[in-house]
């Protein structure tokens, strides 16, 4: 959660209608250029 707050803090004006950030669970990742799956891609 610290990372999320660090990312959104500079963009938080504190006014109604400022927007929302949705953070879905990450099931997998892939590095497209190298074709590496999951943990190797990160």
Whether the CB-CB separation of 36 and 29 falls below 8 Å is answered with: no
For residue 34, is it within any domain? yes
Q: What is the pLDDT of residues 2-42, one digit of tens each?
A: 888 888 888 877 777 777 778 888 889 898 999 899 888 88
Report H helices in 1-42. Answer: 2-8, 38-41
For residue 12, is it within any domain? no
**Model pTM?**
0.39
Q: Count how many domains the chain has.
A: 1
Residue 31 sits in which domain range? 18-42
**Would you state the pLDDT for residue 2?**
86
Q: What are phi and psi of 4, to 5 degrees?
A: -60, -45
For residue 9, is it within any domain? no
């Amino acid at each position: 959660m610290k990372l999320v707050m660090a990312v959104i803090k500079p963009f938080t004006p504190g006014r109604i209608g400022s927007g929302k950030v949705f953070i879905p669970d990450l099931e997998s990742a892939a590095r497209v250029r190298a074709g590496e799956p999951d943990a190797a891609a990160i």
